[in-house]
Amino acid sequence: MTLAAATNEHLASISNTLIYSSMAVYTLAFFAYIAEWLFGSRSKVGRTAAALTVDSAGSADSAAQKASGPAVTVKRAGGTAVLERPKVVVRSTSGARDVPDGPGAHGGDAQGDLYGRIAVSLTALAFVVELCGVVARAASVERAPWGNMYEFNITFSTVAVGVYLGLLALKKNVRWLGLFLITSVLLDLGLAVTVLYTASDQLVPALHSYWLYIHVSTAIFCGAVFYVGAVATVLYLFKDSYEHKLQTGGKPGGFATSVLERLPASASLDKFAYRVNAAVFPLWTFTIIAGAIWAGDAWGRYWNWDPKETWSFITWVAYAGYLHARATAGWKGRKAAYLAMLAFGCWLFNYYGVNIFVSGKHSYAGV
C-alpha cells in the first residue's frame, strides 16, 4: 500500500488565518459601504422623480420631443480634427421610461464618495487576502480547492468579488453592487467557517480527474456570475416598482426614495442583469456538458439523472426560459425578472439544498 500524501497541516492553518483575516477586512469594507450610503443619503438626488414627473406632467410626446430635439441639430464634439465626429443621438426604446441612472451610493456627496472609494479599496484588499487563503488551502491539499462545501464556499465568494472588481476595473458602472455583494460574501464566509468547515484533506478516488478542474471551476464561476445577475435583478424589481409608483403619482417612502434614487435606472439594471446572465449561460451549458463527460468516465453513463445533474438541468432550463421570456412579448420586464430569480433559486438549491437534503452520487466526504 502506498502512502497517501500527508496533508500539510501548517499551510492549512495559514489558509484558515487568511480566510478569517479576509472576513475582518470585508467587515471593514462593509462598514465603509454603509458609510457611503449614509453620507449619500444627505444629498437629495431626485433624478428619477424629476424625469418621471416631467413625463407625466407633460404631454404624451414629450419624451419623443426630448429625444428628437437635439437630433436635428448638427453637433460636433471635440476641438481637434482627429477627434471630430458627428454626434450620435441615442433614443431609448419608446414605451420605456426615460429615466437617468442614479449617481451611485454616494449620491454625489463628496464624503460619501470618499467612503465608497475606501470601501472598494478594502474590498480589493480583502479579495487578495481571501485569494491567498484559497491558494494556501489548495497548496495544503495539493489539489484544486474544490473538494467539499467549505472549499466551494470560500472559492465561490472569492470569485464573486473577483467578478465585481473585474467589472469595476473595466469601468462598468457597478459600484452600487458593493454593499449587497459584500453582505452576502460575509454571510457565505460565515457559513463556511462555522457550519461547513472541513479539515483539509485529500480527495476520494472518484474526484481524481482533470474534469474536476474544468467542471467545478466553471460551475463556481457561473454561480458567482449568476449571483451578481440575481442581485441586479432584485434591485431591478425594487427600482422598477419605485419608478412605477412615481409614474402613477404614488409617493414612495423616504427610505425607499433615498436608496433607490441612487441606483441606476430600472432599465439599466434590467439590461445589466440580462447581460450578465446571458453572458454566462453558454458557460453554464458547458459546465453541464463537462459534468456529463466526467460522469461518462466516472460512473459509466454520461447522464444518470442524479439529483445534482437533475438540478443543474432544471437550472439550465429555467435560465433558458428566462432568455426566452426576454424575447417574448408580454414576458419582458418584471415577469422575466421573476424567472431569473427562480432560475437563481434553482442554482442555490442545487448547491445547498441538494448537497444537504438529497443524497446522490455527488455526495463526497464532509458534505
Chain residues in the site for ligand HEM (CB under 6 A): 320, 323-324, 327
Q: Does 10 bind another protein (CB under 8 A)?
A: no
- Given 176, 236, 294, 347, the residue binding another protein (CB under 8 A): 294
- Residue 19, CA distances (Å) to 78, 202, 205, 224, 288 in order: 50, 20, 27, 18, 30
- The single residue among 37, 156, 176, 211 that binds another protein, judged by CB under 8 A, is 211
**Cell output for 155:** 472559492
| Full DSSP string of 292-322 | HHHHHHHTS-S----HHHHHHHHHHHHHHHH
Binding mask 171-200 for another protein (x = CB under 8 A): ----------------------------x-
User: Considering beta carbons, is residue 117 or 334 the nearer one to another protein?
Assistant: 334
Q: Indicate the burial class of 327 (C-beta count within 10 angstroms; 0-12, 13-18, 19 or more).
A: exposed
Q: Which residues does residue 76 pair with via DSSP β-bridges, in sequence order?
A: 86
The distance from CA 309 to its chain's CA centroid, rounded to whole angstroms, is: 23
What character string, x for contact with another protein (CB under 8 A) and - otherwise, covers 52-71? ----------------x--x
With beta carbons less than 8 A apart as the criterion, state whether 319 and 288 touch.
no
Q: Which among 1-9, 30-38, 120-128, 254-262 is the span making contact with another protein, rule CB under 8 A?
A: 1-9
Other beta carbons within 10 angstroms of residue 363's beta carbon come to 15
Question: Nearest approach, Cβ of 290 to ligand HEM (angstroms)?
Answer: 18
The residue among 27 and 310 lying less far from another protein, judged by its C-beta, is: 310
Of 13-21, 84-92, 137-145, 234-242, the window that binds another protein (rule: CB under 8 A) is: 84-92
Smallest gap, in angstroms, from Cβ of residue 320 to another protein?
6
- Round to whole Å and give the CA distance between 101 and 120: 20
Interface with another protein includes 3 (CB under 8 A)? yes
